[in-house]
Amino acid sequence: MHVHFLDPYRHRLSPIHAFDPRLKLVLVLIFIFTNALLPVGAWPVYIVMFSLILAVEILSELGVTYVLKRSILALPFVLAALPLLVTVPGVVLLNFSIGAWDLSISQEGLQRFISITLKSWISLQAAILLASTTTFPNLLVAMRAIKIPRLLVSVFGLMWRYLFVLVDEALRLMRARTARSGQSELPGLKTGGGLAWRGRVTGGMAGSLFLRGFERSDRIYMAMVARGYDGEVRAFSMPKISPVDWLVLGVGLALLGLLLGVGLIFWG
């Protein structure tokens, strides 16, 4: 059983995939930052931002439905902002009562709520695009480029290498547990063994995972040493960034700056 479904990268021959990963990471981060700086209620700007990310999605040939489906995952968090509807003071749109509380939804509250939801959704799509159009090794290169310490990047790299192996093991552990989770033919027995017991058994599974990880890391270290590892992390240097990519970055930044300016001026 293999957990490739966990790897978000989808190979395509699109310009987004080909765009230099270092610049891509920077652009996505600035996009999300710009998004966050946009004031509440700047609907036209939100729409333009959304169109931009939609256009990139189309360009990436990932399929808009693919990105949108993945973006549904963060939806539940919207609940955290729900109270805004009734706590922000302003023009009342709707009065209702729950039990002993009389609540009213205000226009300002609705605006705040929708702004947060929309902006979050747009940022999320940008992040999905980054992960789906950039191979993990390239992401590591991009991380080095934005000056994340070498040590941390190499730990990331090793983590990625063993992520699927260990997730596989975790899934097999759960499968083995399921296979032994039966129901006796004797009547009147309570299945499940008790909450605390179940928790501890799961802990044993986690412990087993960790322990095997520990011991595996010893073997990995030995294999690395056998290949001349001395603690230093070296990698091939990335090819130079093409002028076209620089241009795209420049245009992107200018566009984001313009949108931010417009947003702040008219709705700030």
Residues 27-56 contacting other proteins, CB under 8 A: 28-29, 32-33, 35-37, 43-45, 47-48, 50-52, 54-55
Report the alpha-carbon distance of residue 263 to residue 38 in Å, rounded. Answer: 6
Q: Count residues contacting other proteins (CB under 8 A)? A: 126
CA distance 109 to 100: 21
Which of 200/250 has CB closer to other proteins? 200
The answer to whether 268 contacts other proteins (rule: CB under 8 A) is: yes
Q: How far apart are CA 250 and CA 256, in angstroms?
A: 10
List binders of other proteins among 92-131 (CB under 8 A).
112, 116-117, 119-121, 123-124, 127-128, 130-131
Comparison of 98 and 179: residue with beta carbon closer to other proteins = 179
With binding defined as CB under 8 A, does residue 18 bind other proteins? no
Taking CB under 8 A as the criterion, the residue among 178, 234, 240, 243 binding other proteins is 178
Say whether residue 11 binds other proteins (CB under 8 A): no
The answer to whether residue 163 forms part of the interface with other proteins (CB under 8 A) is yes
In angstroms, give the least distance from the CB of 95 to other proteins.
19
| Min dist. Cβ of residue 238 to other proteins (A) | 18
Interaction between residue 190 and other proteins (CB under 8 A): yes
Of 100 and 189, which has the nearer Cβ to other proteins? Answer: 189
Closest CB to other proteins among residues 111, 240 = 111
CB nearer other proteins, residue 97 or residue 240 = 97
Is the CB of 201 or the CB of 247 nearer to other proteins?
201
Tokens (6 digits) for 249: 């970055």
Residue 69 interacts with other proteins (CB under 8 A)? no
90 lies in the binding site for other proteins (CB under 8 A): no
Q: Which of residues 210-249 bind other proteins (CB under 8 A)?
A: 210-214, 216-218, 220-221, 224-225, 229-231, 233
* Angle 85-86-92 from CA coordinates, rounded to 5°: 90
